[in-house]
Amino acid sequence: MRYIPNADADRHAMLRQIGRSSIDELFADIPPSVTDAHRPLDLPPKSELEVFGELSRLAEANTASGRVPLLGGGVYDHYIPRAVHHIASRSEFYTAYTPYQPEISQGTLTVMFEFQTMIAELTGMEIANASMYDGATALAEAVLMAERIRKRGRVAVAANLFSHDRRVVETYAWAAGVELVDVPFTPTGRCDLARIPEDISAFVVQSPNAFGVIEALDGLKACLGDALLIAATYPLALGILEPPGAFGADIVVGEGQCLGLPMGYGGPLLGLFATRKEHLRQLPGRVAGRTMDADGRIGYTMTAQTREQHIRREKATSNICTNAAHCALTATVYLASIGAGGLRQVALLNLEKAHYLATRIAKLKDYSLVFDGPFFNEFVVRPSGGNADAVRERLEAGGFLVESPRAMADLGVPNALRLAVTERRTQAELDRVVDILGGKR
Amino acid sequence: MRTIFERGAAEAADGIFPACDVPVKEAAAWLGADLIRSKPPRIPNTSETTVVRHYTRLCKLNYGVDDGIYPLGSCTMKYNPKVNEDTSALPGFADVHPATDERYVQGSLKLLYELTRLLQGVAGLPAVTLQPVAGAHGELTGMFLFRKYFESRGESRRTRVLLPDSAHGTNPASAAVAGFSVTEIASNARGTVDLDALRAQLDDTVAGIMLTVPNTLGIFEEDILEVTRAVHEAGGLCYFDGANLNSFIGRARPGDMGADVFHFNLHKTLSTPHGGGGPGAGAVAVSEPLVDFLPVPRVVKRRDRYALDWDFPESIGSVHSFFGNVLVAIKAYTYLLQLGDEGLRAVSDNAVLNANYLQERLKRTYALPYDRLCKHEFVLSSEGLAKGVTTLDVAKRLIDYGIHPPTVYFPLIVHEALMIEPTETESRETLDRFAEILERIAAEAREHPELLHEAPTRAPVRRLDQTAAARNPVFTFPFEADLV
Ligand SMILES: Cc1ncc(COP(=O)(O)O)c(C=O)c1O
């Protein structure tokens, strides 16, 4: 086994040196009834050549990868500059542990510090942590954090949240005994701010929301009293959109997959978490801070750890330990590669292309856009005559991938398809979508 | 350490994205001026040369498993096979959207299904979820399962979770996030759970116990069967933290020890890299009474098709956006297929042999508070090494010798703890050299303690001022414009 360097001769010598006659002796402390009950997996070892072949065949069985995705809803088909892969593949980065020993982890720590800065800049907030597992758990932790701060036992949640975010928030809130109250949406696709209840610890809004519609955050904070405003966001859109921080948000979370991570069938993802300095003591997760070494040189270290589980145990602000550090590194390198200029450019490409498709579809006789609020790069289309499933089938037969209408139906929008358009879609592809919808073959 | 914010800034970064090929309007014309960003984010526009050189310089300030032994106790920093990186990056796996119709992702679904089955076999338990994405996330999922189980039985009075004092901090934190209170159980003089102390706590307010097996001292609880039996008899459930599975994989199964919930750390035992702090994967295996409560969706096989099944009305719900860290799962699956049964057993054989070999040698120089057979790791103490010398000093001096230090100051029940886990992927030669350096440091501690106090002197930076970092928090780059 080439991942185990020692040979039989080494093992014998080592056993002799520690006065043992066999390896079995080293396991004498496990009750024999337990070891007797052990059953192998019936899995013969295989060579790397065979295993690589087997995995390649499985990858090929994913016939999705030859198709054109119009799928969105939190994870998107964005282009990743090749240099990002090359840097992220440096094993000095990916084979390191959490930087408990800062003096030999300055690479990881400097990147964490850069990441926190970029996320604070993007979201318009004062501080950001070093990452959460994904956007959904970041949002769930934001709800728990707001509840720790305001302690009212109730949090209002916009009904147009991505379903996967909503599901995870529900699980965490159930266990924490926090009641979730729905805030419905209007025909614009935006949530109905007049329906936010009183006596809540926080209000959760997502922008762009599950319909792709950008919420009106201006003035929202002022109508919440002292309840916290939690905003879930799409960081790539912030290349052109005013960030939640500019509207007084208290906590901003988001899914960072769009910042240079492959879709990966939904994981690993990257949870973003930003807030204001006054809430530092309630922040979950790791943070890197800037400091000096014994010679007065600038260096970075994990800090504010008195919030964390290894020190505070059951009183910690979160149980999170390992997070999504390497995804955060990838996002940092992505943002550094494209810069603020490239981020604006890619956001505009998404916006323009999505509007091109939406405008053309809306002109077709049998289709309409379900919502009239402003949108970023995805929108919801309804075919007249109740046949969204059949329309999806036609698009799939034409080589596209489209989400099941069930996704929108689950949000109370029956017979509708959500279509996402990224910078990777070409005019030819989009025209083809219109042709298929319009009945051309 | 210069940051990216101090480089480039006004260089040319264009050329990655094309010009727009559809007719364009101004963004404000689509959205209205109110929604448009008024101030660009301060992310520099930097040429590819500058970006690549900046991060290449940074990566060289790091120490990874590819650099040498990484004996962090409890972290199982074994070598990460390169083939894992390549299989998980195959475009067929990497470029798939989670909302893709099942018929187009049969490869990923089959892999997840097969990995689930293998992990069930390793755990000796009937069902597994791959949704949790880290060890602590697995713990939390397990605690949610505890809660749901007792809710379903009308036993919501069971609000206490018992924890040995040697437990990892995530254990009590996970129990608390799931709404449980924590009762600590003292360890006995042998470093294991004190059965009498345990029995004294067992009543109908106890939801169960969280155990690390072997425990964080690297010691196998010989009374494990008595412990789990006592908890079950009192109506409670047993959670096993599987961070230490490397010590018995292929030889014993938590299901045969009485575990009701067991979490794997794929990013430890199954060789997926740690990534400098994630992404990990924390698959959870459960016993029969908990199967219905597992997170949705679950990957199922219907005749020869694989599918996602949402129809489990008793489920705790979801704990992740989608199906967990699928690309990490692919690395673990690649590893399992290569090793097979034989390889898995070789892992624990060698992990435990390496640890005992080092323990026997190092206990002559360092205090070993629990001097007994260990499993994959052991805990030394720097106490009594030399006056005024701490474990932190020893750790920092190791850095000067080009070696990553062990875990320090954990578990909390050992003073000045040095927790050493060599793993099976280190050779006898590497272990000898590591031991020799620790012995040399012990001699230095007596003869030249200043070498330890001042260490490291050969790292990219000297010892960093933690107090200043905490007292004067700087979490973002101080842009000049903000300083005035
Ligand atoms: C014993 C033990 N339990 C739990 C954890 C938490 O695992 P993770 O960091 O993957 O969340 C760790 C690792 O840090 C550990 O060593």
Q: Is the dihedral of CA B469, B475, B477, B479 positive or negative?
A: negative
Is the CB of B263 within 6 Å of ligand 1? no
Of A27, A47, A60, nearest to B92 by CB-CB distance is: A60
Contact present, B371 and A73 (Cβ < 8 Å): no
| CATH of the structural domain A82-334, one choice from 3.30.360.10, 3.40.1360.10, 3.40.50.2300, 3.40.640.10 | 3.40.640.10
User: Span A12-19, mean pLDDT?
Assistant: 98
In order of their start, the domains of chain B are 83-338 (3.40.640.10), 347-469 (3.90.1150.10)
pLDDT > 90 fraction of chain A, expressed in percent and rounded: 95
| CATH of the structural domain A68-79+339-437, one choice from 3.40.50.300, 3.90.550.10, 3.90.1150.10, 3.10.20.30 | 3.90.1150.10
One digit per residue, the tens of pLDDT, for chain B of length 484 reads 799 999 866 777 689 999 999 999 988 999 999 999 999 999 999 999 999 999 999 999 999 999 999 999 999 999 999 999 999 999 999 999 999 999 999 999 999 999 999 999 999 999 999 999 999 999 999 999 999 999 999 999 999 999 999 999 999 999 999 999 999 999 999 999 999 999 999 999 999 999 999 999 999 999 999 999 999 999 999 999 999 999 999 999 999 999 999 999 999 999 999 999 999 999 999 999 999 999 999 999 999 999 999 999 999 999 999 999 999 999 999 999 999 999 999 999 999 999 999 999 999 999 999 999 999 999 999 999 999 999 999 999 999 999 999 999 999 999 999 999 999 999 999 999 999 999 999 999 999 999 999 999 999 999 999 999 999 999 999 998 887 6
Q: What are phi and psi of B412, to 5 degrees?
A: -70, -20
Range name among A344-348, A376-380, B6-10, B233-237 with the lowest pLDDT average: B6-10
Alpha helices per DSSP H over A126-284: 135-150, 163-176
Identify which of A154, A300, A118, A265 has the alpha carbon closest to the alpha carbon of residue B468.
A300
Q: What residues in A contact B299, CB-CB < 8 Å? A: none
User: CA-CA distance, A35 to A94, in Å (whole number)?
Assistant: 35
Provide the CB-side half-sphere exposure for A276 (13 A, CA).
Answer: 14
Q: Which chain B residue is nearest to residue A3, measuring alpha carbons?
A: B425
User: CA-CA distance, A154 to A422, in Å (whole number)?
Assistant: 37
Predicted local distance difference test score (pLDDT) of residue B484: 63
Residue A425 to residues A310, A352, A412, Cα–Cα distance (Å): 46, 11, 29
Is the CB of A322 within 6 Å of ligand 1? yes
Report CB contact under 8 Å: B136, A299: no
User: CA-CA distance, A66 to B182, in Å (whole number)?
Assistant: 51
User: Span A209-213, mean pLDDT?
Assistant: 98
Domain boundaries, chain A: 68-79+339-437, 82-334
Predicted local distance difference test score (pLDDT) of residue A441: 58
Q: Which chain A residue is nearest to residue B14, measuring alpha carbons?
A: A342
Predicted local distance difference test score (pLDDT) of residue B7: 85
Report CB contact under 8 Å: A175, B144: yes
Q: What residues in B contact A293, CB-CB < 8 Å? A: 461-465
Predicted local distance difference test score (pLDDT) of residue A351: 98
SS (H, E, C) chain B: CCCHHHCCCECCCCCCCCCCCCCCCCHHHHHCHHHECCCCCCCCECCHHHHHHHHHHHHCCECCHHHCCCCECCCCCCCCCHHHHHHHCCHHHHCCCCCCCHHHCHHHHHHHHHHHHHHHHHHCCCEEECCCCCHHHHHHHHHHHHHHHHHHCCCCCCCEEEEECCCCCHHHHHHHHCCCEEEEECECCCCCECHHHHHHHCCCCEEEEEEECCCCCCCCCCCHHHHHHHHHHCCCEEEEEHHHHHHCCCCCCHHHHCCCEEECCCCCCCCCCCCCCCCCCCCEEECHHHHHHCCCCEEEEECCEEEEECCCCCCCCCCCCCCCCHHHHHHHHHHHHHHHHHHHHHHHHHHHHHHHHHHHHHCCCCECCCCCCCCCCEEEECCCCCCCCCHHHHHHHHHHCCCCCCEECCCCCCCCEEEECCCCCCCHHHHHHHHHHHHHHHHHHHHCHHHHHHCCCCCCCCCECHHHHHHCCCCCCCCHHHHC
Is the CB of B136 within 6 Å of ligand 1? yes
Asked whether the predicted pLDDT for residue A232 surpasses 90, the reply is: yes
In which band, very low, low, confident or very high, does the pLDDT at A440 lie, cut at 50, 70 and 90?
confident
Report CB contact under 8 Å: A401, B322: no
Predicted local distance difference test score (pLDDT) of residue A313: 87
Q: B75 C-alpha to center of ligand 1: Å? A: 7
Residue B134 to residues A236, B130, B140, B266, Cα–Cα distance (Å): 26, 10, 10, 8
